[in-house]
């Protein structure tokens, strides 16, 4: 039971029909609201339809259950498209747009390939992603944190709305909705990148070049293998592996040669030397939100500066707002980059300020109030800011104390300021989780901060980034020149790339490994720009410089191709999700969204919410003081009285948990008042999953 809750493929048909409705609405909007070429309208229309559906479904979902809000969002999108067509030129749609049918076949092939990848892998925050998909599909929009009733989830859940539509309208299980959702947005992002390449290179192979570089480009950590062995051994003293990279227990020089230890990975593990802690190859896009963000990124690239109607800015506003809901860092980077280039162009020639630039800036400005009420990370950050919670506290003060207060300590010592005063001043400057970093560093999610003041760490950082960094001055100058010529989106992207690259260098984040995604966006932007730049006839570069650029792209693509080889071994296997099996699928088929809406369900963290779509209520305090003691105590020594006292309505029980308990605790589940709501057993008669109803057990005196 990997795919459907009732095993019926035809249950996917309603979802497919509603997506066709969205596609038609997006196609109409792409045709009449923007000046696009015939080969661009159909694919861009699907992107517009998919993203517009997510935005409308999220807004409607604040008040209406997804059973109604999801179809209603598709209907509204079609209505908006028809309205644009009615107010536009005739015909409504152009038959010649269908000549791009080979692109559609490529898209279907890409979806098939990535679904095969997804079925065989179970990595990258499965618990969080699957929980979000499950509760959103059941009507929890904006979603609460899956471990806590009162706390809304500060997370970029835009992609999860799309995947949740597969659960609600297509009757898929959480993991299949996750995998198919990722495959669709991944394929759309690649096709949109191909359109960008085709537009600017003006050759058919431009689409293949841009799409291929997007899929495979990554850093060049593997080139460290060419270094003398003695140098690699010296790196062991200054490089500390972090997160899953440290699980192998090997020093850096040895880890390069071995597989990356990760739960749910492919049968043939990824080689650590070909991995990257800044710029993962897009072929490994298994989170979902990053792929959805890139689809928006390339759609923005295609549409900005191509507005055809006065109302086009409204469509761009929704596009930007959805970007913030999907991947707030990329949205914020582009917002800053666009404002910088607008200011530059306005200062340079205010009389010739482009009308499409005005529309773009207006759309960005209007997206801000929407972003701050629609839900997601930025909405919750604003709430915290208004409430005065500036993400400061004793943990930050301790960090500054342990590190000599970083830059503040240096200044404090020089000025004669007491250490305690400097510490509190430094902590007070932490806003939204950010504080100044000293020494400046390149941040890798695998290797941690790599100091620019340490020659050895800097060497590793440069290999982690790849040779694209050498070309950034010329890429930036080329992008600014394009902006001056009227294609201002290049300037916005170039400035946003520098913002994203420099922020992790100069600023530290409370979850520091997460900040590497800003540099990821920057490196990807520069890499795609280099693809578009090299074939340009007006580029005054000697032949050797162009060949060096091609060589850079080849080196950065090579690592992704090797990673793809490892990933292809997963295509022959099926993993529902990490620690899930067929018994879990049977339980989900029976109880998903069937328990009372306000039910409180006890069970293994994440597991329970994914299968039932109901929250566990484990963490009931205010951040950052959540407590797990009660949950841990019940997991280790459960009693019926304690379950009832904490007002649990249901229990998710499996043989793994039961077998780990002492006999007296096992007896808690045999009470007469407990009713079995659903159960599933395997052929051995040993392994099982059960959902137990405690509501008949009464209150504890």
pLDDT for the residue 417: 45
Report how far residue 374's alpha carbon sits from residue 246's, in angstroms, rounded to the nearest whole number: 38
Question: Given a cut of 50, is residue 198 above it in pLDDT?
Answer: yes
Question: Given a cut of 50, is residue 621 above it in pLDDT?
Answer: no
Residue 511 placed within a domain:
no
Residue 558 placed within a domain:
no
Question: Given a cut of 70, is residue 624 above it in pLDDT?
Answer: no
Average pLDDT of the residues in 285-310: 91
pTM for the full model? 0.91
Which pairs count as long-range contacts for 243-251, CB under 8 Å and 24+ apart, including other chains? 243/445, 243/446, 243/513, 245/272, 245/275, 245/277, 245/446, 245/447
Identify the band that residue 35 occupies on the pLDDT scale cut at 50, 70 and 90. very high
Residue 147 placed within a domain:
no
For the chain, the domain total comes to 1
Question: Given a cut of 80, is residue 352 above it in pLDDT?
Answer: no
Both tokens assigned to 246? 């440290």
Average pLDDT of the residues in 588-609: 87
Report how far residue 172's alpha carbon sits from residue 586's, in angstroms, rounded to the nearest whole number: 13
Asked if residues 271 and 564 have their Cβ atoms less than 8 Å apart, the reply is no
Report how far residue 512's alpha carbon sits from residue 187's, in angstroms, rounded to the nearest whole number: 30
CA distances from 425 to 393, 417, 419, 510, 617 (A): 12, 11, 10, 17, 36
Residue 590 placed within a domain:
yes
Residue 176 placed within a domain:
no
Question: Given a cut of 80, is residue 147 above it in pLDDT?
Answer: no
Residues in the chain, total: 701
pLDDT for the residue 279: 92
How crowded is residue 542: how many other Cβ atoms within 10 Å of its Cβ? 8
Please enumerate in sequence order all residues whose Cβ is within 8 A of that of 119, keeping only pairs 6 or more positions apart, or say none.
2, 179, 570, 571, 573, 574, 575
Average pLDDT of the residues in 213-225: 95
Say what percent of the chain tops pLDDT 70. Answer: 89
Decide which of 607 and 557 is more confident.
557
pLDDT for the residue 430: 53
Report how far residue 433's alpha carbon sits from residue 154's, in angstroms, rounded to the nearest whole number: 13
Decide which of 604 and 399 is more confident.
604
Average pLDDT of the residues in 536-541: 86
Question: Given a cut of 70, is residue 699 above it in pLDDT?
Answer: no
Residue 607, domain extent: 582-697
Question: Among candidates 282, 281, 291, 294, which has minimal Cα distance to 218?
Answer: 281
How crowded is residue 355: how many other Cβ atoms within 10 Å of its Cβ? 10
Any idea which residue has 């707030």 for tokens?
328
Report how far residue 116's alpha carbon sits from residue 111's, in angstroms, rounded to the nearest whole number: 9
Average pLDDT of the residues in 239-266: 85
Report how far residue 690's alpha carbon sits from residue 377's, in angstroms, rounded to the nearest whole number: 35
The per-residue pLDDT of the chain, averaged, comes to 86
Average pLDDT of the residues in 495-504: 94
pLDDT for the residue 700: 44
Both tokens assigned to 47? 């992107």
Question: Given a cut of 90, is residue 413 above it in pLDDT?
Answer: no
Residue 689 placed within a domain:
yes
Question: Given a cut of 50, is residue 204 above it in pLDDT?
Answer: yes
Average pLDDT of the residues in 408-419: 43
pLDDT digits (tens, 9 = 90+) for 380-408: 888 777 765 433 333 333 333 333 333 33
Residue 646 placed within a domain:
yes
Residue 688 placed within a domain:
yes
Both tokens assigned to 572? 């022959």
pLDDT for the residue 421: 44
């Amino acid at each position: 039971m990997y795919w459907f809750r009732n095993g019926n493929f035809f249950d996917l048909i309603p979802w497919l029909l509603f997506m066709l409705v969205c596609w038609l609405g997006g196609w109409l909007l792409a045709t009449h609201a923007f000046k696009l070429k015939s080969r661009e309208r159909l694919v861009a229309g699907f992107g517009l339809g998919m993203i517009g559906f997510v935005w409308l479904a999220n807004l409607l979902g604040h008040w209406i259950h997804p059973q109604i809000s999801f179809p209603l969002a598709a209907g509204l999108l079609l209505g908006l498209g028809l309205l644009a067509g009615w107010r536009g030129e005739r015909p409504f749609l152009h038959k010649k747009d269908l000549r791009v049918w080979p692109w559609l076949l490529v898209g279907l092939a890409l979806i098939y390939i990535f679904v095969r990848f997804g079925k065989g892998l179970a990595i990258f925050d499965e618990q969080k992603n699957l929980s979000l998909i499950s509760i959103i599909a059941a009507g929890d929009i904006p979603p609460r944190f899956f471990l806590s009733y009162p706390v809304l989830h500060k997370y970029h859940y835009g992609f999860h709305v799309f995947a949740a539509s597969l659960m609600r309208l297509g009757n898929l299980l959480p993991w299949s909705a996750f995998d198919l959702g990722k495959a669709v947005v991944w394929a759309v992002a690649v096709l949109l990148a191909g359109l960008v390449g085709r537009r600017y290179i003006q050759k058919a192979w431009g689409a293949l070049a841009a799409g291929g570089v997007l899929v495979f480009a990554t850093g060049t950590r593997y080139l460290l293998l060419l270094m003398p062995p003695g140098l690699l051994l010296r790196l062991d003293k200054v490089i500390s592996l972090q997160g899953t990279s440290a699980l192998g227990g090997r020093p850096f020089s040895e880890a390069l040669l071995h597989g990356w230890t990760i739960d749910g990975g492919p049968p043939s593990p990824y080689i650590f030397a070909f991995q990257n802690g800044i710029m993962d190859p897009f072929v490994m896009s298994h989170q979902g939100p990053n792929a959805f963000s890139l689809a928006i990124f390339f759609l923005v690239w295609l549409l900005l500066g191509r507005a055809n109607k006065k109302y086009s800015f409204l469509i761009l506003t929704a596009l930007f707002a959805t970007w913030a809901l999907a991947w707030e860092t990329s949205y914020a980077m582009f917002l800053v980059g666009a404002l910088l280039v607008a200011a530059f162009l306005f200062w340079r020639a205010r009389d010739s300020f482009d009308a499409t630039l005005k529309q773009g800036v207006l759309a960005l400005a209007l997206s801000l109030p929407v972003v701050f009420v629609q839900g997601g990370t930025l909405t919750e950050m604003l709430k915290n800011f208004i409430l005065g919670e500036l993400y400061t506290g004793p943990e930050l003060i301790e960090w500054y104390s342990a590190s000599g207060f970083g830059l503040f300590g240096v200044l404090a010592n020089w000025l004669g300021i007491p250490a305690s005063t400097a510490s509190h001043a430094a902590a007070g400057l932490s806003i939204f989780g950010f504080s100044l970093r000293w020494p400046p560093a390149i941040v890798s999610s695998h290797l941690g901060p790599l100091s620019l003041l340490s020659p050895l760490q800097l060497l590793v950082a440069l290999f982690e980034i790849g040779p694209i960094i050498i070309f950034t001055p010329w890429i930036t100058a080329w992008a600014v020149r394009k902006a001056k010529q009227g294609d201002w989106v290049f300037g916005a992207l170039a400035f946003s790339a520098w913002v994203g690259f420099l922020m992790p260098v100069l600023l530290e984040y409370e979850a520091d490994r997460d900040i590497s995604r800003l540099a990821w966006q920057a490196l990807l932007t520069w890499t795609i720009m280099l693809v578009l730049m090299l074939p340009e006839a007006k580029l005054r570069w000697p032949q050797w410089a162009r060949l060096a650029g091609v060589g850079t792209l080849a080196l950065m693509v090579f690592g992704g191709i090797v990673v793809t080889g490892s990933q292809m071994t997963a295509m022959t296997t099926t993993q529902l999700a990490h620690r899930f099996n067929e018994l879990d699928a049977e339980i989900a088929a029976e109880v998903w969204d069937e328990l009372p809406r306000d039910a409180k369900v006890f069970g293994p963290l994440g597991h329970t919410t994914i299968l039932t779509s109901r929250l566990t209520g484990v963490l009931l305090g205010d951040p950052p003081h959540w407590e797990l003691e009660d949950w841990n105590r019940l997991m280790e020594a459960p009693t019926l009285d304690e379950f009832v006292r904490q007002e649990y309505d249901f229990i998710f029980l499996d043989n793994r948990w039961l077998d780990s308990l002492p006999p007296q605790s096992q007896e808690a589940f045999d009470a007469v008042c407990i009713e079995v709501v659903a159960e599933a057993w395997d052929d051995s008669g040993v392994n099982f999953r059960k959902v137990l109803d405690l509501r008949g057990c009464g209150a504890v005196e």
